């Protein structure tokens, strides 16, 4: 009986399975995925549709970047969506509507793109009681109209922040006047929800001081303020002028090494510095804010600053004035300039003390040594030193230094220095740097933008010609040098270079040897640290005990036919115990010598015990030669050790001369102006 039951059950199962074979899946309308995400590059995707009858696909809104292929079908089938490239834009999405016999469904096609960025530079912004227009740096690739702005105010009041705008890398906002007796705070949050469903956001806290009375304060110009006696300013006066610095910019002012650790740079000096020039640009003042957070000033801001209670410092040679003890509560007015601030255009010889801390543009200038980057230093020392002075010279033969702090983003961008001439704009300052000899000249220039350095790229588009130039030690000739294949053969022009105490063909370790320059174009702190192997040359034995005089680098060249004045450019450093002080002399007969200038090289930095007077690279020098050095059949130039004042491992001077201490050169050239 059991056997018959199993047979009957098997027959029933067989009949049921045959019945199911004839049954097909049936649905009015369905899709295999409601969200389809594709690559940022041009891409194609296939979407399966299930329906009982005919169906069609159309975009909900007209979308030019998506093309529907095979956009209709019957039953179970598919359609194809083809998207254009979106690699350079934010993610995007389109909703597609599928219709079939009165039924509808949707599919969203999402295409990747740029990763949204939204980063506000400041975490906190200080606003003065009188309000006004403010800005802070912002990094974003999202237009403001696509962002959501949310304001969160404290209990003191709302709606006092308005007029948001993003322009040229800055977020602008307006703060109303605070008429309350207390400070107030608002938090502004910007966010962006992209087409992929990801939210990117950042916030800034805006603090506004309470209103205080400036009753009786009298406006005074820069000249009057500079005429006051040094010390605390007791007069109820305010300064009215135009800001020519930019808060947060890394190249505003000098940073000193920390008092507690000479191997660490304290960035306070740069962060609190503000330069304000008179409204006509004729004179300027250097202001030091109490804290970096109180430095709210941007380039071209129109300001009024109450000076009562601040301290005036007066310095001479050059004459300049610095005001310290300035707080945010003393800022009476700050408005963003609506017109473009124009610099004064001058030659180096036309600069005066009144130009200090103002916005100037130097005319007809070039880099004295147009090789490498804006900061040719050993990258391993960027935490221990803060600035690189590059020598610039003008068509009139004068020179000064262009200062670049080591936090400047484009300082070593791989492009190299422009080799032609043009203009350079910036803030005129007067600063001393122990690493470069202390006194680096009466005036220096600080640039705020790469565009400020408006020089022609090619040397042919400049005002100077090269008579002779050595830019590196040519080691390809070192194995078997000859008189014509000499490592000291110039790279440009014709001339001879040798050392007075060495044989001209002695390229051993005790003769003239290869050394490292640091003019690599890229910032590579973990690999070669800016190192250019064999980029320079050096030698030892700098004092002649027989004659009791210094040895010298010797240059022999003809200046015949050149009626323009000549100039000499070189850069280098020395070992502690090696020659520091040099005199440049020239002669027409290699016998009677005429002094043409002096300069000092600094000791090379030592990692174990880096002194504040040691340089992690080469110091650049430009010397204008007298007119008598021009138009000579034969011109002889000596770069001679002047005395036995040398450095040591503990100080810049006071060391003992060592015959094994070297002097190194990375560049040497002679130029003259084109007619």
State the pLDDT at residue 8: 58
State the pLDDT at residue 1: 53
State the pLDDT at residue 528: 82
State the pLDDT at residue 22: 45
* Domains, the chain: 29-111 (2.60.40.10), 118-208 (2.60.40.10), 218-336 (2.40.50), 464-673 (2.60.120.260)
Q: Are 384 and 263 in contact (CB under 8 A)?
A: yes
254: buried, middle or exposed (CB in 10 Å: 19+, 13-18, 0-12)?
Answer: middle
| Confidence band of 21 (pLDDT split at 50, 70, 90) | very low
Tokens 């009057």 found at? 224
Neighbours of 2 (CB within 10 A): 6
pLDDT surpasses 80 at 18: no
Neighbours of 634 (CB within 10 A): 13
Which residues, at least 6 apart from 167, have a Cβ–Cβ distance to it below 8 Å?
A: none
Mean pLDDT of 583-592: 97
Across the chain, mean pLDDT equals: 93
Q: pLDDT > 70: what percent of the chain?
A: 96
Q: Are 539 and 512 in contact (CB under 8 A)?
A: yes
pLDDT surpasses 90 at 25: no
Output the six-digit token pair for 308: 């009562």
Q: What would you measure as the largest C-alpha separation in the chain, in angstroms?
A: 138
Residue-wise pLDDT for 47-73, tens only, equals 999 999 999 999 999 899 999 988 899
pLDDT surpasses 80 at 482: no
Flag the least confident range among 10-14, 253-257, 302-306, 395-399.
10-14
Give this prediction's pTM. 0.84
β-pair type (77-83, 43-51): antiparallel
Mean pLDDT of 129-151: 93
| DSSP letter string, 556-621 | EE--TT--SPEEEEEEEEE-TTS--EEEEEEESSSSS-EEEEEEEPPBBP-STT--TT-BSB-EEE
Output the six-digit token pair for 246: 């930019």
Report residue 93: phi and psi, to 5°. Answer: -150, 155
Distance from C-alpha of 576 to C-alpha of 578, rounded to nearest angstrom: 5
Mean pLDDT of 413-419: 93
State the pLDDT at residue 558: 98
Distance from C-alpha of 42 to C-alpha of 410, rounded to nearest angstrom: 34
pLDDT surpasses 50 at 96: yes
pLDDT surpasses 70 at 193: yes
Neighbours of 304 (CB within 10 A): 19
Neighbours of 230 (CB within 10 A): 12
Peptide bond into 49 cis (omega under 30): no
236: buried, middle or exposed (CB in 10 Å: 19+, 13-18, 0-12)?
Answer: middle
| Confidence band of 373 (pLDDT split at 50, 70, 90) | very high
pLDDT surpasses 80 at 524: no
pLDDT surpasses 50 at 132: yes
Contacts 24+ apart (CB under 8 A), 136-145: 136/170, 136/171, 136/204, 137/169, 137/170, 137/171, 137/248, 138/166, 138/169, 138/170, 138/171, 139/169, 140/116, 140/166, 141/90, 141/114, 141/116, 141/117, 142/90, 142/116, 142/117, 142/118, 142/192, 142/200
Flag the least confident range among 100-104, 239-243, 338-342, 358-362.
338-342
Distance from C-alpha of 271 to C-alpha of 293, rounded to nearest angstrom: 8
C-alpha triplet 446, 452, 455: angle, nearest 5°: 115
| Confidence band of 12 (pLDDT split at 50, 70, 90) | low
Distance from C-alpha of 521 to C-alpha of 593, rounded to nearest angstrom: 39
| Confidence band of 168 (pLDDT split at 50, 70, 90) | confident
| Confidence band of 3 (pLDDT split at 50, 70, 90) | low
Which residues, at least 6 apart from 515, have a Cβ–Cβ distance to it below 8 Å?
A: 473, 534, 535, 536, 537, 538, 662, 664, 666
Report residue 271: phi and psi, to 5°. Answer: -75, -25
Does 19 or 522 have the greater pLDDT score? 522
State the pLDDT at residue 149: 97
Mean pLDDT of 629-640: 98
pLDDT surpasses 50 at 430: yes
Output the six-digit token pair for 231: 């010390």
| Whole-angstrom Cα Rg for the chain | 36
Distance from C-alpha of 100 to C-alpha of 617, rounded to nearest angstrom: 76
Neighbours of 493 (CB within 10 A): 16
Mean pLDDT of 635-639: 98
Neighbours of 513 (CB within 10 A): 20
Distance of CA 430 to the CA centre of its chain: 21
pLDDT surpasses 70 at 20: no
Which residues, at least 6 apart from 236, have a Cβ–Cβ distance to it below 8 Å?
A: 216, 217, 218, 308
Flag the least confident range among 315-324, 361-370, 522-531, 629-638.
522-531
State the pLDDT at residue 525: 63
Q: Are 160 and 127 in contact (CB under 8 A)?
A: no
501: buried, middle or exposed (CB in 10 Å: 19+, 13-18, 0-12)?
Answer: middle
pLDDT surpasses 70 at 367: yes
pLDDT surpasses 90 at 507: no
Residue-wise pLDDT for 539-558, tens only, equals 999 999 999 999 999 999 99
State the pLDDT at residue 7: 57
Distance from C-alpha of 113 to C-alpha of 39, rounded to nearest angstrom: 8
Q: Are 367 and 453 in contact (CB under 8 A)?
A: no
Residue among 528, 512, 541 at smallest CA distance from 665? 512
Residue-wise pLDDT for 559-573, tens only, equals 999 999 999 999 999
Distance of CA 670 to the CA centre of its chain: 30
| DSSP letter string, 272-314 | HEEEEE-TTSS-EEEEEESSGGG----TTEEEEEE-TT-EEEE
State the pLDDT at residue 475: 78
Using DSSP, state whether 420 is helix, strand or coil. Answer: coil
């Amino acid at each position: 009986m059991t056997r018959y039951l199993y047979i009957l059950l098997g027959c029933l199962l067989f009949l049921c399975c045959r019945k199911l074979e004839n049954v097909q899946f049936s649905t009015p309308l369905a899709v295999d995925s409601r969200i389809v995400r594709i690559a940022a590059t041009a891409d194609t995707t296939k979407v399966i549709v299930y329906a009982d009858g005919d169906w069609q696909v159309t975009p909900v809104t007209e979308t030019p970047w998506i093309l529907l292929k095979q956009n209709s079908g019957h039953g179970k089938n598919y359609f194809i969506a083809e998207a254009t490239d979106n690699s350079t834009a934010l993610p995007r999405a389109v909703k597609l509507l599928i219709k079939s016999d009165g039924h509808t469904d949707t599919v969203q096609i999402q295409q990747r793109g740029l990763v949204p960025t939204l980063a506000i530079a400041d975490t906190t912004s200080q606003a003065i009681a009188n309000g006004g227009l403010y800005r802070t740096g912002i990094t974003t690739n999202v237009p403001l109209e696509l962002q959501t702005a949310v304001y969160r105010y404290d209990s003191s009041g709302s709606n006092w922040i308005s007029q948001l705008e993003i322009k040229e890398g800055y977020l602008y906002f307006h703060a109303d006047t605070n008429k309350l007796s207390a400070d107030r705070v608002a938090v502004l949050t910007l966010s962006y929800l992209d087409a992929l469903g990801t939210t990117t956001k950042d916030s800034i806290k805006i603090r506004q001081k309470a209103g205080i009375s400036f009753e009786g304060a009298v406006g005074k110009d820069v000249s009057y303020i500079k005429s006051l006696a040094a010390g605390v300013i007791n007069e109820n006066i305010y300064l009215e002028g135009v800001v020519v610095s930019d808060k947060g910019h890394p190249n505003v002012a000098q940073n000193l090494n920390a008092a507690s650790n000479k191997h660490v740079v304290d960035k306070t000096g740069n962060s609190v510095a503000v330069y304000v020039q008179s409204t006509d640009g004729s004179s300027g003042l250097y202001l030091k804010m109490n804290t970096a957070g109180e430095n709210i000033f941007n380039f071209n801001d129109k300001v009024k600053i109450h000076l009562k209670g601040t301290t005036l410092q007066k310095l001479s040679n050059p004459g300049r004035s610095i005001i310290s003890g300035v707080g945010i509560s003393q800022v009476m007015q700050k408005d963003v300039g609506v017109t473009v601030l124009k610099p004064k255009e001058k030659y180096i010889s036309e600069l005066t003390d009144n130009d200090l801390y103002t916005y100037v543009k130097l005319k007809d200038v070039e880099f004295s040594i147009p090789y490498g980057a804006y900061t040719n230093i050993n990258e391993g020392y960027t935490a221990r030193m803060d600035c690189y002075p590059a020598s610039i010279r003008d068509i009139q033969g004068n020179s000064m230094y262009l200062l670049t702090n080591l936090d400047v983003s484009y300082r070593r961008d791989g492009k190299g220095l422009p080799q032609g001439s043009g203009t350079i704009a910036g803030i005129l300052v007067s600063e001393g740097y122990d690493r470069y000899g202390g006194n680096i000249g009466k005036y220096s220039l600080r640039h705020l933008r790469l565009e400020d350095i408006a020089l022609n790229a090619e040397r042919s588009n400049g005002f100077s010609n090269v008579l002779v130039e050595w830019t590196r030690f040519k080691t390809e000739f070192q194995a078997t040098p000859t008189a014509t294949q000499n490592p000291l053969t110039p790279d440009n022009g014709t001339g001879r270079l040798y050392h007075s105490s060495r044989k001209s063909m002695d390229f051993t370790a005790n003769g003239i040897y290869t050394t490292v320059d640091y003019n690599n174009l890229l910032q590579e702190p973990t690999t070669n640290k800016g190192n250019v192997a064999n980029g320079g040359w050096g030698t030892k034995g700098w004092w002649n005990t027989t004659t009791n005089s210094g040895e010298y680098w010797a240059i022999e060249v003809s200046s015949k036919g050149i009626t323009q004045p000549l100039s000499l450019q070189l850069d280098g450093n020395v070992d502690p115990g090696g020659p520091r002080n040099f005199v440049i002399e020239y002669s027409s007969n290699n016998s009677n010598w005429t002094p043409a200038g002096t300069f000092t090289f600094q000791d090379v930095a030592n990692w174990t015990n880096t002194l504040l007077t040691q340089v992690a690279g080469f110091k650049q020098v430009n010397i204008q030669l007298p007119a008598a050095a021009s138009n000579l059949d034969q011109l002889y130039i000596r770069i001679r050790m002047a005395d036995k004042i040398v450095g040591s491992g503990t100080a810049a001077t006071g060391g003992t001369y060592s015959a094994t201490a070297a002097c190194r050169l990375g560049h040497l050239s002679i130029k003259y102006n084109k007619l």
